[in-house]
A and B are shown apart, each in its own frame.
Chain A
Amino acid sequence: MNRAPLLFLGIFMTLAFSWTGIVLINQISYGKLTPVYDETEGKTFPLTPTGLAMQGKRVYEDLGCIYCHTQQVRRPGFGVDDKRGWGDRQSVARDYIREGRVLLGTMRTGPDLRNVGARYVGESGREWHIRHFYDPQITSPGSIMPHFAFLFETRKIVGQPSPHAIQRLLPADYQPPLGYEIVPTRRADALIEYLLSLNDSYTYPQESRYIVTEPEPASETSGAAAPTTEPAK
Chain B
Amino acid sequence: MSEQPSTPTIVASFKPGARADIAARAELSEIDASTRAPLMLFLVSAVLWLIVGTAFAIISSYKLHSPGFLGDIEWLTFGRARTAHLNAVIYGWATNAAVGVAFWLMARLSRSVVRHGGILLFAVALWNIGVTIGIIGILKGDSTSVEWLEMPTYATPLLFIAYALVGAWAVITFRYGKSKHIYVSQWYILAALFWFPWLYSVAQMMIIFAPARGTVQALVNWWFGHNVLGLWFTPIGLASVYYFLPKVLGKPIHSYYLSILGFWSLAIFYNWAGVHHLVGGPVPAWVITAGIAASFMMVVPVVVTGINHHLTMIGSFSALKYSPTLRFIVFGAVNYTLTSLIGSLMAARSVSETLHFTHFVVAHAHHGMYAFFTMVMFGAIYYILPRILLREWPNATLIRTHFWATAVGSMVYVVGLSIGGVVQGLMMNHTSPDGSVTYTVLQVVEATIPYLFSRSVAGILITVGHLAFAVNFFWMLSKKPVSQSSAPTLFRNPEEMELAAK
Contact = CB atoms under 8 A, between A and B. Distances in A.
A15 interface: yes
B67 A147 contact: yes
Interface string B457-474: 000000000000000000
B212 A31 contact: yes
B80 A2 contact: no
Interface stretch (A4-12, A162-170, A190-198): A4-12
B283 A10 contact: no
Contacts of A95: 282
B80 A64 contact: yes
Contacts, number: 227
A79 B429 CA distance: 6
Contact of B207 (A92, A101, A145): A101
B385 to A, nearest CB: 30
Given A18-B271, A26-B283, A64 B83 contact: yes
Contacts of B271: 14-15, 17-19
Nearest to A32: B213
Residue in A32, A93, A99 whose Cβ sees the most chain B Cβ within 10 Å:
A93
A31 B212 CA distance: 7
B365 to A, nearest CB: 10
Interface size class of A (residues with CB under 8 A): 35 or more
Contacts of A23: 202, 206, 216, 219-220, 223
A151 B6 CA distance: 71
Interface stretch (A37-45, A48-56, A105-113, A116-124): A105-113
A31 B65 contact: no
Contacts of B160: none
Interface stretch (B95-103, B113-121, B139-147): B139-147
Residue in B174, B194, B281, B284 whose Cβ sees the most chain A Cβ within 10 Å:
B281
A27 B212 contact: yes
A65 B434 CA distance: 33
Interface size class of B (residues with CB under 8 A): 35 or more
A96 B212 CA distance: 11
A80 B428 contact: yes
A31 B77 contact: no
B24 interface: no
B267 interface: yes
Contact of B358 (A4, A97, A108, A111): A108
A124 to B, nearest CB: 20
B231 A15 contact: yes
Given A7-B182, A22-B275, A67 B79 contact: yes
B480 to A, nearest CB: 42
A90 B223 contact: no
A209 to B, nearest CB: 14
A22 B287 contact: yes
Interface stretch (B314-322, B349-357, B391-399, B401-409): B349-357
A67 B82 contact: yes
A149 B437 CA distance: 32
Nearest to B280: A74
Interface SS majority for chain A: loop
B162 interface: no
Nearest to B274: A22
Contacts of A101: 144-146, 207, 211, 217
Residue in B63, B74, B213, B437 whose Cβ sees the most chain A Cβ within 10 Å:
B213
A29 B428 CA distance: 34
A110 B428 CA distance: 11
Interface of B: 63-65, 67-68, 71-74, 77-80, 82-83, 141-147, 174, 180-182, 187, 190-191, 194-195, 198-199, 202, 206-207, 211-220, 223, 227, 231, 264, 267-268, 271-272, 274-275, 277-278, 280-285, 287, 289-291, 348-350, 353, 356-359, 361-362, 428-429, 431, 435-437, 441-442, 445-446, 449, 452
Given A15-B198, A18-B227, A70-B357, 14 more contacts: A1-B181, A7-B187, A18-B271, A61-B144, A80-B428, A80-B437, A91-B281, A93-B284, A101-B146, A107-B361, A145-B67, A149-B71, A223-B349, A224-B349
28 contacts: A1-B180, A3-B182, A7-B182, A8-B190, A15-B195, A15-B199, A18-B223, A18-B272, A22-B219, A22-B220, A60-B145, A62-B145, A63-B79, A64-B77, A64-B83, A65-B79, A65-B145, A66-B147, A68-B79, A72-B280, A83-B435, A93-B284, A96-B215, A106-B361, A107-B361, A144-B449, A150-B72, A223-B348
Closest 7 CB pairs of A and B: A64-B79, A223-B349, A61-B145, A62-B141, A108-B357, A18-B271, A14-B267
